[in-house]
Amino acid sequence: MKSETNASIMGNRKNKAVVETVAQIIFTICALFAILAVISITLYMILSGTPAIFQVGPMEILFGTVWAPTAAEPRFGILYVILTSIVGTFLAILLGVPIGILTAVFLAEVAPKKLAMAVKPAVELLAGIPSVVYGLLGIYLLGPVMYRLEKFVFADSTTHQFTGGANLMSAVIVLAIMILPTVINISETSIRAVQPGIKAASLALGASHIQTIFRSILPAARSGIMTAVVLGVGRAIGEAMAITLVSGSSVNPPLPFNSVRFLTTAIVSEMGYAEVGSTHRNMLFTIGLVLFVFIMLINVVLSRILKKGEVHR
C-alpha cells in the first residue's frame, strides 16, 4: 500500500506540483493571519488611542499625577500609573530572575536526578495555572500576611493610608512567582545546551563544581538566559488579571506599601463603566497605547542587547 501511494505522488509530476502549490497557499494564508492581527492591532491602538492625546494634551497625560476621570473638572494624569508599571515590573524581575536562574541551575546541574524529576513537573504546572488563580491566592494567602507586615512597619505612622494588604509589594511578589516558570524553563534548556566540553575543561583545570557553574556554564548560557529575562519582562508588564486583585487599584506613587494601579489594571478596572465616546473612555485606550509603546520599546531594546551578545560570542 505504502509503496503504491508513494509511487502515485512521486511518479506523477502534475500531482506533485499541485500538492506543492496548495501547501504553499495554505502556509501563506496561515501566515497572513498573524500579519493581519499585528497590523490591525497596531492601527486600532493608534486610531483609538490618539483622540484623547489631543483632547487632554500629551504633557498633562504623561506628567500629570492626578487621575480623576469623572470629576467635575476631569484630570487624566497617568505619571504614577506609568511609574508603577516600570517599578513593579523591575522589582518583579529583580526578585524572580535570580530565583528562576538558580532553580534552573539546580535542576540542570545540582539536583539528584530523582529530585529533578519531581521539581520539573511542578515548575511546568506553575506555568499552566491561570493568572486569576494567582490573584485569588494573592488575596487569601498573601494579603493577610502583607497587612500584618504593613501594620508592623507603619505602627506609629499617622499619615500612611492602610491598604489591607493590597499594595505594590503584594503585586510584585505575585508577578515574581508568575514569571518563574518562564525563566526556569528557558534558562534550564540553555544551561543544558552548553557544550559538555566547557564544563569538562573547567573541571579538568581544577575548578570546583560551583566555580564551574558561575564562571563557565552560566556565561556560556548567557544568551538563552537573557531570552528568559525578556520573556519574563513581557509577561510581567502585560499581566492584568492577577495584579488587579492584589494591587489595591488606587492611583498612588509606587512605594512598597501604597495601593497602586498598573497600566494594565487601569484599563481593566474602568472599562466597564466609562461612557462610550467620552474622553474618559478614549483615555483608557490611550493608556493601552502607552502600554503598547512600552512593550514595543522593551522588545526592541532587549532584542538589540541579545543580538550584541551573540555577536560577541
Site stretch for another protein (CB under 8 A), options 50-58, 68-76, 209-217, 285-293 = 68-76
Q: Decide if residue 269 touches another protein (CB under 8 A).
A: yes
* Nearest residue (CB) to another protein, 32 versus 205: 32
Q: Which of 82, 142, 270, 290 binds another protein (CB under 8 A)?
A: 270
Q: Decide if residue 268 touches another protein (CB under 8 A).
A: yes
Could you give the C-alpha distances from 235 to 48, 85, 129, 188, in angstroms and in order? 24, 12, 14, 18
Whose CA is closest to 294, among 254, 232, 238, 225?
238
* Nearest residue (CB) to another protein, 140 versus 214: 140
Whose CA is closest to 261, among 79, 139, 91, 137?
79
Could you give the C-alpha distances from 2 to 8, 10, 20, in angstroms and in order? 10, 12, 20
Shortest Å, Cβ 52 to another protein: 15
Phi and psi torsions of 197, nearest 5°: -60, -35
8 A C-beta contact, residue 171 and residue 260: yes
- Alpha helices in 154-253, H assignment, sequence order: 168-192, 196-204, 209-212, 218-220, 222-238, 241-246
Q: Decide if residue 35 touches another protein (CB under 8 A).
A: yes
Other residues' Cβ atoms within 10 Å of the Cβ of residue 148:
11
Q: Decide if residue 139 touches another protein (CB under 8 A).
A: yes
Other residues' Cβ atoms within 10 Å of the Cβ of residue 50:
14
Q: Which of 161, 195, 211, 303 binds another protein (CB under 8 A)?
A: 161
Q: Decide if residue 143 touches another protein (CB under 8 A).
A: yes
Instruction: Give the per-residue contact string, 101-130, with another protein (x = CB under 8 A; - = no).
Output: ------------------------------
Could you give the C-alpha distances from 153 to 78, 146, 148, 305, in angstroms and in order? 28, 10, 9, 39
Could you give the C-alpha distances from 163 to 29, 66, 78, 84, in angstroms and in order? 51, 19, 21, 16
* Nearest residue (CB) to another protein, 5 versus 28: 28
* Nearest residue (CB) to another protein, 3 versus 159: 159
Q: Decide if residue 239 touches another protein (CB under 8 A).
A: no
Q: Decide if residue 69 touches another protein (CB under 8 A).
A: yes
Q: Which of 95, 129, 280, 295 binds another protein (CB under 8 A)?
A: 280
Q: Decide if residue 259 touches another protein (CB under 8 A).
A: yes
* Nearest residue (CB) to another protein, 124 versus 275: 275
Residues that bind another protein (CB under 8 A): 28, 31-32, 35-36, 39-40, 43, 67-72, 139-140, 143-144, 147, 151, 158, 161-166, 244-245, 248-250, 259, 261, 268-270, 272-275, 280
